[in-house]
Every structure is written in C-alpha cells, then in structure tokens.
Amino acid sequence: MKAVIYKKFGSPDVLQLAEVEKPKPAENEILLKVHATSANAYDWRHLRADPFLIHFMGAGLFKPKHPILGADMAGTVEAVGTNVKSFKPGDRVFGEGGYGGFAEYACAGANRFVMIPEGISFEEAAAAPMAALTSLQGLRDKGKIKAGDKVLVNGASGGVGSFAVQIAKSFDAEVTGVCSTSKVDFVRSLGADHVLDYRSEDITRSGKKYDLILDIAAYRPSADYKRILQPGGMYVMIGGSIGRIFSMMFKSIIGNRNMTVMIAEVKQADLEDIAGMLGSGKIRSVIDKQFPLEKTAEALRYLEQGKVCGKVVVRVGS
Ligand SMILES: NC(=O)c1ccc[n+]([C@@H]2O[C@H](COP(=O)([O-])OP(=O)(O)OC[C@H]3O[C@@H](n4cnc5c(N)ncnc54)[C@H](OP(=O)(O)O)[C@@H]3O)[C@@H](O)[C@H]2O)c1
C-alpha cells in the first residue's frame, strides 16, 4: 500500500511517499481503508520532535517510533480483530487513531472510532475528531459551560477554534471569538456573537469579563486573562506556546483552581456526541483546503504557517 512515511525527525521535507506493507489488525483493532485524514499541530510536532519532550511522549527517542503520521481518519472498515464486535467490514467510520492515517490503510483501536453520520462526507468526518474532541472536552468537561455563559475563544479561526465557537454556541453561550484581522468575517460566519481582532485591540483591556476562556492560542501570560475572568470563572489553556503551557501546568499543580491546562483524551462516548452534533447540523466541519495524499508535506507546511481558516484535509485515493 502507499503511505507517507518519515525516517528521521525534521521539516515536512523529510516526508516521502513509499510502498509499505499493509497492516494487520490486532484483536481489538480495526483495519481501515482510509478515504480522508486531517492534519493537526500534533502531526507536525511529532515530525519536528517539537517540543523536545515529545521524544519521550510517543514520538521515539532517536528515530520516529511511528513512521506514518496522521491521527484523524475516516474511511471504511476493511477487517476487524477477533475481539471487535462493534464494527463490520463496509462500515463508514471516523475517529482519532493516534498514528497511521497518511496511508491507504491504517490499523487502530476500535474504541477510538464511531460511525459517520448520514449525509457527512469522509472529508468532513476526518476534519473533526481531534479538533472537535478538544473543543468539547475543554468547554464542557473542564470549562463546565452552561447556557448564557459569556465564553471567550482565543484562537477561534483555526482547527480547534472553528469547532469551539460552534460547540459553545450549541450550549447557548454568548461567544466571543478572537482572531487576526483577515479572519474576522470567517469567525463571525461560525456563529460567534462578537469577534475581536487581537491585532487592533488588547483583548484583556476591553473591560468585558468572561465566565469561561478557552485559550487555544496561548502566546501571552495567563495572568493577563485573570483581569477578564469573572469571579468563579474558568480559564482553560489548550494550545499555543509550549513555554506558556508548561508554566500553566506547573501553576495547576500548585493549586491554581480556576486556571488550568487540558490535554484531550480519545473517548468513544465523546466521539458519539460529536457525530450526533455533525449529523444534526449543530456543528459542521469547515475545510480550508484539501490535498491529495502525495501532497501531505504541502498540507503540513500550509498548516504550520498558521494561515488556516478551519481544517486542512488530506484525501486518500480518488
Ligand atoms: N490540549 C490538547 O489536547 C490539544 C489538542 C489539539 C490541539 N492542541 C493545540 O492547540 C493549538 C491550536 O491547534 P489548531 O489545530 O487549532 O491549530 P491551527 O489550525 O493551526 O490554528 C491555530 C490558530 O492560532 C492562531 N494564532 C497563531 N499564532 C498566533 C498568535 N501569535 N497569537 C494569537 N493567535 C495566533 C491562528 O489564527 P489567527 O491567524 O486568526 O491568529 C491560527 O489559526 C496548537 O498549539 C495545538 O498544538 C492542543
């Protein structure tokens, strides 16, 4: 089968299209014929081994442990492991398999997948898992979002942010999205009630306060956000500068109760919730650009530039 592999850490230039052996599913896994996958910061961080600590968190010490990247995937089940009863060959599924999506076939735990709702394409399904799971868990589980809450989504225009704005709206919150100048209209089109352009105003000096702040682009001291957090409100850091994330992890450990970092977990029940929201039209995957498998390196380069509005999808096959 064809796959995009990497044999050493580096820029997207080290990725190459290669012929590799088709994987076989272990007893709790499914073998997926991949139709689409999406690119995440998670992929390029593994590729570049950035931050360095990622070497010890699954990327491999001296050479890549998982030579095929691509965490999000959507496709048809080709075969199932002996213990898998929830899926059968031919099922249309999507999920977050961890690794292996930049390929014609991939194996991953069956409990990391759910059925694609009717009317949703492979591309739309592949765009959702990591970004939508992160948004849902950040807003609902860590942020305890409720109707009427004033929610600030910082980094509203990217993959995670485009889902976070929509999911927050689905909880009937009053949503303010923060993005750069050229993306203001895009964030408004996602349903944000208010949009702030961080290039033209200091969002932490507006005087407005929020019940929940989802910080997907943490590039400034979290202390700045204390100014705009309501008493009893919650600040949840999702991504941005690695230095800021580590500093926030430390602060959470020493007991900062209303400011925290969240690392998303793959939970089948949450994927079911996301499938439900996609199927009912409560949320939609917004795809900025699609690339064929052979151009995966270009897809990652494009994502890394930070210019995306929504998600970058890699199509596999015709
Ligand atoms: N905690 C978790 O479990 C988890 C899961 C998934 C992703 N993440 C992290 O979340 C972050 C976002 O992921 P993503 O998939 O949404 O990435 P993305 O699609 O690349 O979007 C990132 C957005 O951040 C904004 N941005 C870039 N530089 C900025 C700056 N200096 N100041 C303010 N905003 C800036 C950009 O929008 P503008 O041009 O509009 O500013 C960009 O669209 C990444 O750091 C990723 O590693 C964490």
Q: Let me know the angle formed at the C-alpha of 156 by 151 and 158, rounded to the nearest 5 degrees.
A: 150
Name the CATH superfamily housing domain 131-261: NAD(P)-binding Rossmann-like Domain (3.40.50.720)
Q: How far is CA 32 from the centre of its chain?
A: 20
* Distance in Å, CA 240 to ligand 1 centroid: 6
- Phi, psi (deg, nearest 5) at residue 35: -105, -30
- Domain coordinates in residue numbering, the chain: 2-128+285-315, 131-261
Amino acid sitting at position 211: D
pLDDT of the chain along its 318 residues, tens only?
Answer: 999 999 999 999 999 999 999 999 999 999 999 999 999 999 999 999 988 888 888 888 889 999 999 999 999 999 999 999 999 999 999 999 999 999 999 999 999 999 999 999 999 999 999 999 999 999 999 999 999 999 999 999 999 999 999 999 999 999 999 999 999 999 999 999 999 999 999 999 988 999 999 999 999 988 899 899 999 999 999 998 888 887 888 777 666 678 999 999 999 999 999 999 999 999 999 999 999 999 999 999 999 998 899 999 999 987
Q: Are 179 and 205 spatial neighbours (Cβ–Cβ below 8 Å)? A: no
Ligand 1 pocket: which of 37, 48, 157 to mutate (most atoms within 8 A of CB): 157
3-class secondary structure, 176: strand
Q: Please say whether the dihedral angle defined by the alpha carbons of residues 140, 144, 145 and 151, taken in this order, is positive or negative.
A: negative
Q: Which residues contact 174 (CB under 8 A, 6 or more apart)?
A: 148, 149, 150, 151, 193, 194
* Distance in Å, CA 154 to ligand 1 centroid: 9
Q: Are 12 and 20 spatial neighbours (Cβ–Cβ below 8 Å)? A: no
- Residues in the ligand 1 pocket, defined by CB under 6 Å: 40-41, 130-131, 134, 155, 157-161, 179-180, 183, 198, 216-217, 219, 238-240, 262-264, 303, 306, 308
Question: Residue of the nearest CA to atom 22 in ligand 1?
Answer: 158
Alpha-carbon distances, residue 20 vs 16, 106, 287 (angstroms): 12, 11, 29
SS3 content of the chain, % helix, strand, coil (to 5): 35, 30, 40
Q: Which ligand 1 atom is nearest residue 238's CA?
A: 1
Cis link prior to 51 (omega < 30° from 0)?
A: yes
CA distance 25 to 22: 10
Ligand 1 pocket: which of 44, 135, 238 to mutate (most atoms within 8 A of CB): 238
Q: What is the pLDDT of residue 278?
A: 98
Q: Which ligand 1 atom is nearest residue 183's CA?
A: 40
2-128+285-315 against 131-261: fold identical: no
Q: Which residues contact 199 (CB under 8 A, 6 or more apart)?
A: 180, 181
Q: Is pTM beyond 0.85 here?
A: yes
Q: Which two tokens stand for residue 314?
A: 């890699």
* Distance in Å, CA 215 to ligand 1 centroid: 9
Q: Which residues contact 32 (CB under 8 A, 6 or more apart)?
A: 73, 75, 76, 77, 78, 93, 97, 105, 106, 107, 108, 113
Q: Classify 2-128+285-315 by CATH class.
A: alpha beta
Q: Are 213 and 236 spatial neighbours (Cβ–Cβ below 8 Å)? A: yes
Ligand 1 pocket: which of 188, 216, 246 to mutate (most atoms within 8 A of CB): 216
* Distance in Å, CA 49 to ligand 1 centroid: 17
